[in-house]
Amino acid sequence: MAGSSLDATTVRDAALKLFAERGYRATTMTDIGAAVGIRGPSLYRHVSSKQDLLVSIMVETMRELIAGQRTAAAAGGDPAQVVRRMVEAHVRFHAAHREQAFVGNREIDNLEPPNRECVLRLRRRYADGLRAAIATGRDASVFKVASDRLAAYAILDMGIGVATWFRADGPSSVDEVAYTYADYALAMLTAETSPGTAQRGGTAAL
């Protein structure tokens, strides 16, 4: 096939797969080279370092997530509709790009200081996007949340988990999971919260 010469994207895809399978530290440049048909040292013709490979994977992942969230926010609609779209986009990404999401969440500590702060900043921006949408709904009295921060974390973390167990050939389709999780998010945001601690689980029976 024409254009079969290696480019940085091909190498990055191979590295992503290996990082997801065995972890960043357990993956060697020799492994990545073998995955694209060359020797380890030859990789330095296409990428500057192993660390750089991880950085570009993680930054790209956050860019895609943020772009999807922005599109959801820009589409308009009431707060419930906006949150629904954000959650669906979030879940869809984690189901369709499991490896990216998985590596993005597990290898943060393997990012060297300057790069780590950069990625953490992007993550914070992403979380703040959902948080703002929730706060808007609360201010408009359509959501009843005690803490927009807690609600955003709960919804985001629930979707992040999808990357760990979702299988394309499993019992649930991407759509099913996306719709169900959006329902869950809306249920969390609109439910009446129990007023006291009387009926809490921990001590009610005592």
Partner DNA sequence: CCTACCGATCGGTAGG
- Least distance from C-beta 8 to DNA, angstroms? 11
Question: Which residue in 18, 88, 98, 115 binds its own copies (CB under 8 A)?
Answer: 88
Residue 179 contacts its own copies per CB under 8 A: yes
156 binds its own copies (CB under 8 A): yes
Residues 105/90, Cβ–Cβ less than 8 Å: no
Out of 9, 21, 23, 28, point to the residue binding DNA (CB under 7 A). Answer: 28
Find the helix packing angle between 79-96 and 50-74, rounded to 10°.
150
Among 9, 23, 30, 67, binds DNA (CB under 7 A): 30
131 binds its own copies (CB under 8 A): no
Is 191 an interacting residue with respect to its own copies (CB under 8 A)?
A: yes
Query: Residue 4 Cβ, how far from DNA at the closest point, in Å?
Result: 9
Binding positions for its own copies, rule: CB under 8 A: 21-23, 25-26, 72, 75-77, 81-88, 106, 109-110, 146-147, 149-151, 153-158, 160-162, 164-165, 171-172, 176-184, 186-188, 190-191, 193-194, 197, 200-202, 204-205
Instruction: Give the binding site for DNA (CB under 7 A).
Output: 5-6, 27-30, 33, 37-42, 44-46, 49-51
